[in-house]
Structure 1
């Protein structure tokens, strides 16, 4: 279960840290970091300074940068090559004993400190990732995992992934058909550890109690190491004017109250093993989005619940972990069924002009949201499975796993912006997907 290229990653981390704190270095050095052979030459001559004036542009256009001959060895991603090409040059710039007149770029002291802090931050993040993936919990074949919401999407992928790695797994699905499908898929895996598939409706206390009794009776010599609260629904994607309190309750009953109900039932079993409880939240638990009121409210509720619960569980050596993915292409984000339902439900009389306009606006709004999802949804759902898996097996799990490029570089940064700026960004997106004109109207019920 060692991660791929672990040795190479550790050597890269050591190289970055070593060069950040190194005070003196010879005029010519060759550094082999596994990924790259990096000959780096520093010169005080004016001719060399002129030749390297365009270095950053060269690095971003040619990963075999002629200035310092960076040769990729075993890296498939061109973007990653370019990134490390730039980083290795910046690392050698930030030497405390080299002033602005003796380095390749005319940075002053403050600029060197700033760039140096960036390099140190990158090095620390690489070290952190290395440590979390290197140190794995012992005896995973004796530690069971309970997962909710495995009918489709992330839950089913995680169940298959755990069983393939020989981890005892209790898999739950809401629909009987999904139970049969998952049972067939798991039976095809030659796993040394057992797996169980049962039906569970998280909105029903009786169903949760039955699932708890099943786990308790079948746990045997295993211990319940992790509880994964994955079950969730999107709910209705409409402006608030078109929603009712029942629409909000529908999303809350599954995403929030269902999660609390399952957590209360299984929490003490996880505490016995000093394990972890994992919650599926979302970037929408950090930032709001129009037309997703019920879903956003439920995810904010989950985030608040976990923040409070985490502090209580810490006294019992039990972790509470949040997974907050961006937008991914799963059955949950498919709005086609909603559009069909709205188109057929309670068709208004042909002479009711106002109602016809309202229905058209509703369908236009849903189509705009569908276009938004088709633009931002990633098909690489396996990264969420990997985040789940690390949260389960790592000795030092994170408290939050933000997953997806859109989450890292758009939604989470936006959550730290002043509210006024966040609203301006929201206007930009609603205009892009032709939703702003619909949201601007007052749709009375």
Structure 2
């Protein structure tokens, strides 16, 4: 078998157990790259392992595992073409309702973990003239109700991405931000489970204040699972962002993301508030229904 130029280059993908991460790893491998795929469990590793996909156990909230992956890349010897910071969780609830421990968990995975991975592999990227790809979200540009923690972590990631791009451009390392809209992934389903659990812990006053909103957000999330972009399509877009010779600074995935970002640019805040509220209002439950019905 002839060895392609890409086979002599590594790409690290975090959060590759399922969804966009797994799809990105698969697409990159099909393009000929050797992919180091960060997964959480051995069963996930067995599911994704192939000739060009090398799974590693990587929980990005575990510093010792990040150190091990960085050492693996250094010992391999092949240049690191890119790191795709994809791992993420969604924890949705009103600011008043969401416990502080859940805020910290959201930021540990969606923000601080990515910073630690990037710092660990940056020496290899500087050596190779590689690329950092940060998987943000439309939620990193527009914060809907109950998305305070999730959007907060993504807004922070967007800001760091801009800073990194300006810091590293003189040193030959490119930084790209990818902003998916609705994508059919397991993360959306897991977010719905968390939303139901948090709703069960609300006080009676909070229940009266927010139950309708939380039911509407859950219905919206379930709609994403039916109508969102397929994970394979998102993975293809992310793989392109990681490997195209002259990347844009930002990519959106899905028409909903492109439209909402465009509206956020041109509409005053109050007008955007009304638009988002109107979209949710039709999803509010009828009286006397609960989140667990």
TM-score w.r.t. structure 2 length? Answer: 0.87
CA contact (8 A) 2:192 2:221 kept: no
CA contact (8 A) 2:110 2:154 kept: yes
Aligned match of 1:163: 29
Q: Which of 368, 372, 386 is the matching residue for 2:216?
A: 368
Root-mean-square deviation (CA), in Å?
A: 2.3
Matches within 5 A, 1:74-153: 139-153=5-19
Distance 1:318 1:223 in 2: 13
Aligned match of 1:200: 58
CA contact (8 A) 1:238 1:362 kept: no
**1:368/1:227 Cα in 2 relative to 1: closer, same or farther (>3 Å)?**
same
Matches within 5 A, 1:174-193: 174-183=40-49, 186=50, 191=51
Q: Which has the larger radius of gyration?
A: 1
- Unpaired stretches in structure 2, ≥5 consecutive residues: 288-293
Matches within 5 A, 1:322-361: 322-334=177-189, 335-339=191-195, 341-342=197-198, 355-356=203-204, 358-359=206-207
TM-score w.r.t. structure 1 length? Answer: 0.59
CA contact (8 A) 1:342 1:363 kept: no
CA contact (8 A) 1:286 1:415 kept: no
Query: 1:246-294 CA distances to partner (integer Å, 9 max, x unpaired)?
Result: 2211110011000000000001101111111100001111111111111
Aligned match of 2:291: none
Cα distance, 1:393 vs structure 2:
2.2
Distance 2:255 2:157 in 1: 22
**Poorly superposed stretches of 4+, deviation over 3 Å:** 339-343, 355-366, 374-377
Distance 1:359 1:288 in 2: 22
- Unpaired stretches in structure 1, ≥5 consecutive residues: 1-137, 349-354, 438-445
Number of residue equivalences: 280
Cα distance, 1:379 vs structure 2:
3.9
Secondary structure at 2:267's aligned position in 1?
A: coil
Aligned match of 2:290: none
* More divergent stretch after superposition (284-293 vs 371-380): 371-380
Matches within 5 A, 1:236-385: 237-334=92-189, 335-339=191-195, 341-342=197-198, 355-356=203-204, 358-359=206-207, 364-376=212-224, 377-385=227-235
Query: 1:273-322 CA distances to partner (integer Å, 9 max, x unpaired)?
Result: 11111000011111111111110000000000010110011011110000
**1:153/1:360 Cα in 2 relative to 1: closer, same or farther (>3 Å)?**
farther
Secondary structure at 2:230's aligned position in 1?
A: coil
The question of 1:428 aligning with 2:278 is answered yes
